[in-house]
Amino acid sequence: MDRPAHDRPVRIGTVLVPNPVFAAPMAGVTDIPFRVLAREQGCGLVYTEMLSDKALIFGNRRTERMVTITPAEHPIAVQLLGSEPGPMAEAARLVTEAGADIVDINLGCPAPKVVRNGEGSALGRDPRAAAAVVGAVVRAVNRPVTAKIRKGWSDEEVNAVELARRLEDAGVAAIAVHGRVRTQFYSGRADWGVIGEVKAAVRVPVIGNGDAIDGPSAAAMIDQTGCDAVMIGRAALGNPWVFAQVLEFLRVGRPAPPPSPEERVAMAARHLRAIVEHKGPVIGLLEMRKHAAWYIHGLHGAARVRSRLMTADTPEEMEGILRSFLDDLSRPADA
Ligand SMILES: Cc1cc2nc3c(=O)[nH]c(=O)nc-3n(C[C@H](O)[C@H](O)[C@H](O)COP(=O)(O)O)c2cc1C
């Protein structure tokens, strides 16, 4: 049989995602500006950060803002966090009205306060309960419903294959598998073997996640697991180019050149302007601090300029710090 083309579209229920390079949901990160930049770089599917069902239902204003979707972002999956079928179905209806193309259910979040509520990875630990939630959401909306799971709860409690089978029976249209157990949080290497096991066990598309950081690693994940798409998380922090680079590698098998320091600073400045436009100068500036540090991470002198970025009082001041950092970078060392 022919080796499958690595950059083919992925059908998730009724949604045809144009390519198999997805941006992982990340709380505090994957807001409108981040998602628009990711799409600009060719990312096939973006996700919102996880949204609590209760916060959506009770009209928490921050959550309402988080579920705003702009035209450039489609197709977009809106991720929900919760543990009870009724409220999750209700929240799914709300985000569908807000424009979600796909409703994703979080079954992997390891945070203690989430787990204490029986949500995220705690719900994934109980396949029967997880399937009940997914089934209720599938019945509630006329959009594809997907789930994001972990390898399991702990090394002694690995359940991804059983969970995936139950979710498929409950009607999910795709399953993203993060190859770490809950007790690992985000440390240690992701186990790609379990992604392959899930792929072999279900018919719906499987999205591999964990440690895909560039073209070669993304292609290796697809080769080793047979997954239908790769989902990239931390490698995209301050690095929206990763999506274009992975796509290019999947298409032609060659690594694309990394962005120059000028491109990194210019992108950081654009990101800053976009985040200020969406969230205002006060919250925008605060939220931009971490992004700005990520954009310049690894450049000569970045550590020193980082503390200045953290204390900038206005967006203009932050942009000025970024620009003068670039000037310093391009000045000969002895000047
Ligand atoms: C800052 C941060 C926030 C995250 N928030 C979410 C989230 O809201 N929902 C979710 O399913 N996973 C979340 N994750 C997990 C990522 O989606 C992904 O599974 C994980 O980072 C592993 O992929 P990576 O190795 O490509 O980073 C988050 C990860 C990070 C680093």
- pLDDT tens track, the chain, 335 positions: 344 457 899 999 999 999 999 999 999 999 999 999 999 999 999 999 999 999 999 886 766 666 999 999 999 999 999 999 999 999 999 999 999 999 999 999 999 999 999 999 999 999 999 999 999 999 999 999 999 999 999 999 999 999 999 999 999 999 999 999 999 999 999 999 999 999 999 999 999 999 999 999 999 999 999 999 999 999 999 999 999 999 999 999 998 899 999 999 999 999 999 999 999 999 999 999 999 999 999 999 999 999 999 999 999 999 999 999 999 988 765 54
Tell me which residue has its CA closest to atom 15 in ligand 1: 26
Catalytic-role residue among 15, 17, 109, 230 = 109
Question: How far apart are the CA of 326 and the centre of ligand 1, in A?
Answer: 30
Question: What is the CATH number assigned to the segment(s) 10-252?
Answer: 3.20.20.70
pLDDT at 135: 98
User: Which one of 26, 66, 192 would you pick to mutate in the ligand 1 pocket, going by the greatest count of ligand atoms within 8 A of its CB?
Assistant: 26
Question: How far apart are the CA of 51 and the centre of ligand 1, in A?
Answer: 14
pLDDT at 27: 97
Nearest atom, ligand 1, residue 212 CA = 26
Give CATH 3.20.20.70 domain extents, the chain.
Answer: 10-252
**Radius of gyration in angstroms for the set of CA atoms belonging to the chain, rounded to a whole number:** 20
Question: How far apart are the CA of 331 and the centre of ligand 1, in A?
Answer: 38
Tell me which residue has its CA closest to atom 31 in ligand 1: 234
Q: Is 227 a catalytic residue?
A: no
pLDDT at 332: 64
User: Which one of 81, 115, 234 would you pick to mutate in the ligand 1 pocket, going by the greatest count of ligand atoms within 8 A of its CB?
Assistant: 234
Q: Which fold does the domain 261-329 belong to in CATH?
A: 1.10.1200
Tell me which residue has its CA closest to atom 28 in ligand 1: 26
Ligand 1, CB within 6 Å, residue ranges = 24-29, 49-50, 79, 106, 108-109, 148, 178, 186, 209-212, 232-235
What pTM was estimated for this model as a whole? 0.96
Tell me which residue has its CA closest to atom 30 in ligand 1: 26
CA distance 22 to 73: 12
Give CATH 1.10.1200 domain extents, the chain.
Answer: 261-329
Question: How far apart are the CA of 332 and the centre of ligand 1, in A?
Answer: 39
